[in-house]
Amino acid sequence: MSNNALNLILEHAKEEEHQASLALNQARIERQNYLQQLQQIEQYRLDYCKQLSTRGQEGLTASSYGHLQKFLTQLDETLAKQKEAGHQFEFQIEQCSEHWNEVRKKRRSIEWLLEKKQTEQQKMLDRQEQKMMDEFSTLQFARRNL
């Protein structure tokens, strides 16, 4: 395979690695947004519990208390669903990370192959140069002895 073809493959691998890196960063951002949203819901629930306690001390009707308790139950269910969704964010990050590592290894392999080919080519050129120098020395020696 020619160096030009390998360079083209390397450029493609670099772009693929860049895209994988962007996807990994995006997954991390989405997880962070999720965690912030989860924290906000938990804080809202805490504030609501405090409000329920304060209103309870002031005196609540059974109906009002039932409505407030029902809303609190809905918040708890929402939190439970949100926490379940958190596993999906972790899974997404894991998948993106694995993909990024795979394409990074691929890029490194291509770079190694290119370096190997360049080293072999340089060795061949060095041997050719040495051969030409040997022939030149032999010719000079032969001319001197004639």
Residue type, 89: F
Report the helix count and the strand count for the chain, using DSSP H and E.
2, 0
Percent pLDDT > 70 in the chain is 99
Q: Is the pLDDT of residue 1 over 70?
A: no
Report pLDDT for 110. Answer: 93
pTM of the model: 0.70
In a domain, 103, yes or no: yes
Alpha-carbon Rg for the chain in angstroms: 35
Structural domain includes residue 123: no
Amino acid 64: pLDDT: 79
Where is average pLDDT lowest: 57-66, 111-120, 133-142? 57-66
Q: What is the pLDDT of residue 14?
A: 95
Taking all residues of the chain, what is their mean pLDDT, rounded to a whole number? Answer: 90
Total structural domains within the chain: 1
HSE at residue 64, side-chain half, CA atoms within 13 A, is: 9
Whether residue 13 is contained in a domain is answered as yes
Domain assignment of residue 70, yes or no? yes
What six digits make up the tokens of 8? 């083209």
Task: Give the whole-angstrom CA distance, residue 118 versus residue 127.
Answer: 14
CATH code (residue 2): 1.10.287.1700
- The verdict on residue 142 lying in a domain is no
List C-alpha distances in Å: 59 to 54, 66, 73.
9, 13, 21
Residue 97 belongs to domain spanning? 1-111
Written as six digits, the tokens of 143 are: 């001319």
Rounded to the nearest angstrom, the gap between the alpha carbon of residue 4 and the centroid of all alpha carbons in its chain is 28
Any domain includes 46: yes
The C-alpha atoms of residue 16 and residue 99 are separated, in whole angstroms, by 10
Pick from 113, 104, 109: nearest CA to 18:
104
Which tens digits make up the pLDDT trace of 10-50?
A: 999 999 999 999 999 999 999 999 999 999 989 988 988 88
125 within domain boundaries: no
pLDDT in tens, 82-95: 888 888 999 999 99
